Structure 1
Amino acid sequence: MIIDVHAHCIPSDFLAWLKQADPSTGIALVETDRGTAVEMAGRAVSQPLRDDLTDFDARLAAMDRQGVDVQVLAGWIDLTAYELPSDQAVAYTRVHNEGLAAEAAKAPGRFKTIGTLPLQDTDASVEALNYAMDELGMSGVELATTVDGAFIDRMDLDPLWAAAESKGAFVLLHPMAPLTGVDMSLYFMSNMVARPAESTIALAGLIFSGVFERFPGLKFCVVHGGGFTPFQIGRLDKGYEMKPGLTAKHISKPPSAYLKQLYLDTVVHDAGALRYLVELMGADHILLGTDYPFEMGDDDPVTFIKSAGLTAEQQELILSGNAARLFG
C-alpha cells in the first residue's frame, strides 16, 4: 500500500462555510486581480483559490495515476488562520477540521487526515488536537513554520508538543510565508528558495531550542526534504562545537542527532538528493510526498523513488512501510 504523506485540499464543506461567512468570523472572500482570495483580519492572506484543491474526483484520479493508494489529507497552508483572534481561530479550525474529516469519508480507505490548529493560542491548540484525534479520527496535525511572522520555536508550545507526543500525533511542518520582509518577488524565488529556506530556519530553531530533546518521541516530518537543513547539517554541528555558549543552551547533542529523530518527505526533485537523504537519515525516516496539487510537487512519485538507485528494501520503506508504521 503506497502512502503519500504530503498533500493539500480545501474541504468542500469548509469552502461552503467560507462563502457564507459573516463578518463576525473575521473571514471574507475578496476579489483580487488574480482571482478570489481569502481575507482574514482585514488583509488578504491566501493566493487565489484553486479548483484542484476542491475537486475530489480529480484528486482520486490523480492518486490512481500516480499509483498512490492512500493520501494523507491536510489543509492548504495559506488558510491556517493564525492571523485571527483566538476565539475566531478556534471556531474556524473546528469548521475546517470537521470539513476535512467529512471529505476523507467520501472515499473510505483512501485517505488519512491531519488537521490544522489555532497555533496562536497554545491551550486552544491542545484542545483542538485532542478533538481532531479523539472525535474526528485524525492522525495528527499540519503546522506552519511561522505564526504572524514569528518562527514557531519562539512560542511556548511545550504543552502542545507534550500532547502530540503523548497521543502519537503525526506532525507535518510546512513553510508558510516567503520569508516575510525579504523581497523574493523575482524569478519565482518566493517558492523555489524562500519556502525551503523558511523550513530550514524553523527547523534549526526547533532543534536549538531543545524541542526534540525534551520530546524525543514526536512523530515529526518536514516537507520538501527538510528544506536546506540536511545539506547544511554539518554547518549546524560545527556551530554547536565552536559556539556552545550560543548553541548548546538547550541541547546536549549535536544538531544532527536530533535531525535523525525526524522524518523528511521525498519532494526534492533530484535522485542524488534523495539518495543523500537516505544515506543521512536512513531509509526508515524518509516518507513519500507529492505536495499535490501544486506545480512544484511531484506528479510521479513512485517512478521517482523506484528510479533513484535505491535498494528494494529502501524503496519499500519509503513507499509504504514507514508511513504504515506511523499511521497504523
Structure 2
Amino acid sequence: MIIDINMHHLPEDLFTNEKTLDGFLSTAPRSFGEIASVGTLPSGKQTLTLEKPKGFQNLNYVEGDYSLEAKLQAMDDAGVDKAILRVPVWQEWLRLDTCKIVNDNAADMCKRSGGRLFANAVLPPWGGKENLYELERCLKELGMVGVQLACHYGQLYLDDEAFKPYLKVLNEAKVPVAVHHTPLPVRYESIIDYTNLRREYGRIVDQGTAVGRELFSHMFEEFPDLKFIHTMFGGNWFANYHLMTPHKTNKKEAMDRLDMSEGEKIQKYLKNNIYYDMTHPASWGKDQVECAIKVCGADHILFGSSFPVFYGWMSEGVEFMKTLDITEQERELITCGNAMRLFNLDGK
C-alpha cells in the first residue's frame, strides 16, 4: 500500500466563492510584505499567487488542481492508495471562520473519496475556546486524523510561549501534527534573488530552524506525547543529526565553546517526537534519501508528494521508492506503515 501524507488541499470553490476567496486574500499580511493576488494564466485558468516581497513569487495555486477528481485521477495514475490532506502554507494566516470552511470542504471531499482520503484539521494555533471547539469538531464530528501547523507564525516558531495552550491540548489528545513549511524563513533576505534558492532552499532553512528550536528549547519535556511530522526531511535534518548532538571531547579544552551536555536529550526527542515527511522524494536523489533513512531510521520517515505542486512528483516518488537500496520492511514502513500507526488508520 502507498499512503501519501502530503497531498495539498484547498476549497474546491476557492476561485468561485467570493467569501472563501476573500478569506484567503484578505488574511495574507500585506503589512509584513505578503502580497496575495488572483490572476489568469494563458490557458484561461485562474491562479492565486503569493509574493514576498513584491515581485518575488513563492506560491502559485491553479484553478482545478485541487478538485476531488484531480486528486483521485492522479492517485490512480501513480498507484497511490490513500492520501492525507493538508492546506499548503496558508494556514499561517487563516481566520477561524475561513478554517471552518476549509475543514468542512476537506471532510466532504473525504466522504466522497470512497475511503481513500483523510484530512488534517486546520485552525488558528493560539488556544482559546472557539478555536478548541473547532479542533474538537474536526476530530470527533468530521473524523479528521491529525492536525496541521505552520512551522512558524509571523516571527514566532513553535517553541514560543504563545503556542503552549494549544500544544498542551494536542499533547493530551495525542494527535499527530503535520508541520508544514512556510514560504520563507523568518530571515530571508539573502536567499530571495534566485528562484530555486528562494522556493526550495528557503523551505529547507525554515524547517531546519523550526526543528532545531523545538529540540533545543526542550519543549518536548513539557509535551512528551507530541508527534511532529516535518516536511522537507525536517530541513535536511539527517545531515545535521550528529553535528547538533556533539559528544564530549576526549581532551581537556581551554574553554567550552559548545554545550556538550544536551546530546542525549536531543537524541531522545528525535526518537520520540520528531518525524519526517520526505516531500517529493525523487527530487532529493537516491544517495541523499538512503542517507536520510540510514541516519533517521525508516520508522521516522513518511512518504509525501506535495501534489499538485508538480503532478509528476507523485508518480515519480512512487517509482523512486522502488529504486532505493533498503529492505522491504523499511520500504513498507515509509510508504504506509508509519502513516497507519501515527494517524491511526487501521480499520479506516
TM-score (norm 2): 0.79
Q: Report the equivalent of 1:314.
A: 330
What letter corresponds to residue 178 of structure 1 in structure 2? L
Structure 1: distance between partners of 2:166 and 2:38: 36
Residues 20 and 122 of structure 1, relative CA distance in 2, 3 Å threshold: closer
- Counting only pairs closer than 5 Å after superposition, residues 96-245 of structure 1 correspond to structure 2 as 96-119=102-125, 121-123=126-128, 124-180=130-186, 181-183=188-190, 184-238=192-246
Matches within 5 A, 1:225-304: 225-238=233-246, 253-261=264-272, 262-267=274-279, 268=281, 269-295=284-310, 297-304=313-320
1:50 and 1:33 mapped to 2: Cα distance? 9
- C-alpha distance in structure 1 between counterparts of 2:219 and 2:100, whole Å: 27
1:80 matches 2:91:
yes
1:228, distance to aligned residue in structure 2 (A): 2.2
CA contact (8 A) 1:4 1:288 kept: yes
* Mapped partners of 2:163, 2:38: distance in 1: 35
Whether the 8 Å CA contact 2:181–2:203 is kept in 1: the answer is yes
Number of residues of Structure 1 aligned to a counterpart in Structure 2: 314
Query: Retained in 2: the 8 A contact 1:141–1:170?
Result: yes
How much has 1:167 moved relative to structure 2? 2.0
Sequence identity (%): 25
Cα deviation, 1:51-88, whole Å, max 9, x if unaligned, reads 354232121111112111000011121x2252x6xxxx
Letter in 2 for 1:233: Y
Q: Shift of the alpha carbon at 1:322? A: 1.4
Runs (5+) with no aligned partner, structure 1: none
CA contact (8 A) 1:9 1:53 kept: no
Q: Compute the RMSD of aligned alpha carbons.
A: 3.1
Contact 1:292 1:299 in 2 (8 A): no
Letter paired with 1:275 = E
Letter in 1 for 2:234: G
Contact kept? 2:88, 2:180, Cα under 8 Å:
no
The match for 2:79 among 67, 85, 90 is: 67
CA distance in 1, matches of 2:248, 2:201: 25
Question: CA offsets, 1:174-222, max 9 Å, x none?
Answer: 1113234414231421122110110000111111112223222222211
Q: Which amino acid aligns with 1:286?
A: I
- Distance in 2 (alpha carbons) for counterparts of 1:270 and 1:214: 37
Residues 58 and 198 in structure 2, CA contact (< 8 A), matched pair in contact too: no
Decide whether aligned partners of structure 1 residues 130 and 239 sit closer, same or farther in structure 2, where only a CA change above 3 A counts.
farther
CA distance, structure 1, for counterparts of residue 335 and residue 87 of structure 2: 22
CA contact (8 A) 1:73 1:114 kept: yes
- What is aligned with 2:98? 92
Q: 1:9 touches 1:74 (CA, 8 Å); kept in 2?
A: yes
Partners of 1:212 and 1:125 in 2: CA distance: 23
| Paired letter, 2:340 | A
SS in 2 for 1:236: coil
How far 1:15 sits from its partner (Å)? Answer: 5.2
Kept in 1: contact 2:307–2:314 (CA 8 A): yes
CA distance in 1, matches of 2:49, 2:27: 7
- Considering only CA atoms, is the larger Rg found in Structure 1 or Structure 2? 2
For 1:235 and 1:52, locate their aligned partners in 2 and report how far apart those are by CA, in whole Å.
44
Cα distance in 2 between the residues matched to 1:19 and 1:36: 17
Q: Determine the structure 2 residue equivalent to 1:305.
A: 321
What amino acid is the match of 1:293? P
Could you say if the C-alpha distance between residues 188 and 92 of structure 1 is closer, same or farther in structure 2, counting changes exceeding 3 Å? same
1:63-120 Cα shifts (integer Å, max 9, x gaps) = 112111000011121x2252x6xxxx1212111111111122221211110021212x
Residue 306 of structure 1 and its aligned partner are, at CA, apart by 1.8
